Amino acid sequence: MPVLSIIACGMLEDELVHILSKDRELKQLIVVENRGNLEFLRKLKSKNCTPRTVFLDRIPMLLKEAYSLDSRAILEFLFLLPFFKKMHEKRKLMEKKKVSVVVNLLRLGLHSDLELLKAEVYKNIREMAPFSDKILIFYGTCGHTFGKLEEDFADLECSLSFLKDKNGEMIEDCISLALGGNEAYARAMIEFRGMGTIYLTPMWASSWKRLENEAGSRDFNKSFLKNPLYCLAAKIDTGLANNPEFQENVQEFACTFGMKITDLKGSTEIAEQSYLAARNGITGK
């Protein structure tokens, strides 16, 4: 039974909910249990996607149990049907296309210390590799923190997959992902040249207060954001949060820091295509 593991940034939970809830060929969805993923689980359930939650060290046993249950079901199936060979082969083909997905959503605060972020992601790769056929790293390069990740894990038996744009480049960060790639991000910065701009996805807009209040946060610093050079709050519409709350969060942010709001068209294409590439890479589709 193929297993795709995902190590993800908490800032990308909306994209994860989107792609997982659309996947109709999931064998099972397992979310690594931690205190910071309650909202992620709520969003999944709102899309009629109910995962199993378990601590990381219990996942190998859970996967093994699922495989054993499948084996017993096949044996019962064989005894019941006289033309079992044909049906058995058909069932095996169908099961091969299904995949078990294990999601490990890491906390937002890790970005306050890039060395800590790197250490945490590397540690989880090593812990998840033994039961995974592939691991999708649901992060950008994050200030080049993960620029050498593939090189550092070149000897890993479990292959790694990344969020890449249409040019095959690893995306820079979550804003690059939301805008459709590094090139689109660069175009946006050129368009707003001379105007300090803060880019807001739905998750950024709903999380800025928490991040600003965290000691040592490098993402939202009050004195930094009150600098008059920063005058634009760019609201990125990826289609994942067409609700009044997103607009209200952006308006509150802009009002707090004296910024004007401008709208940008976003996209979920990179998240979708990167997930499908990783998934199909282990199912042979």
**56-100 pLDDT, tens digit each:** 999 999 888 765 555 555 555 555 555 555 554 555 555 556 899
Alpha-helix residue ranges (DSSP H) falling in 110-195: 114-128, 149-152, 174-179, 182-191
Edge-to-edge strand order for the sheet containing 196-200?
196-200, 230-237, 260-265
- Residue 106: pLDDT band (50, 70, 90) is very high
How far is it between the farthest Cα atoms of the chain? 78
pLDDT of residue 228: 76
Q: Does the pLDDT at position 25 exceed 80?
A: yes
Nearest Cα neighbor of 6 from 210, 274, 199, 192 is: 274
CB neighbour list of residue 111: distance below 8 Å, 6 or more residues apart: 117, 142, 217, 218, 219
DSSP lists the bridge partners of residue 164 as 170
pLDDT of residue 225: 74
| DSSP designation for 180 | T
pLDDT of residue 171: 94
Set out the domains of the chain in order of their start, with CATH numbers.
3-171+269-283 (3.40.50), 181-265 (no CATH)
* Beta-strand relationship, 99-106 and 3-9: parallel
Q: Does the pLDDT at position 218 exceed 70?
A: no
pLDDT of residue 65: 77
The more confident residue out of 137 and 191 is 137
- Residue 102: pLDDT band (50, 70, 90) is very high
Instruction: Please state whether 181 falls in left (phi above 0), alpha (psi between -120 and 50) or beta.
Output: left
pLDDT of residue 213: 65
For 196, 208, 226, 255, 259, the CA distances from 229, given in Å and listed in that order, are: 5, 19, 8, 15, 10
The more confident residue out of 226 and 207 is 207
Tokens, residue 55: 């601590």
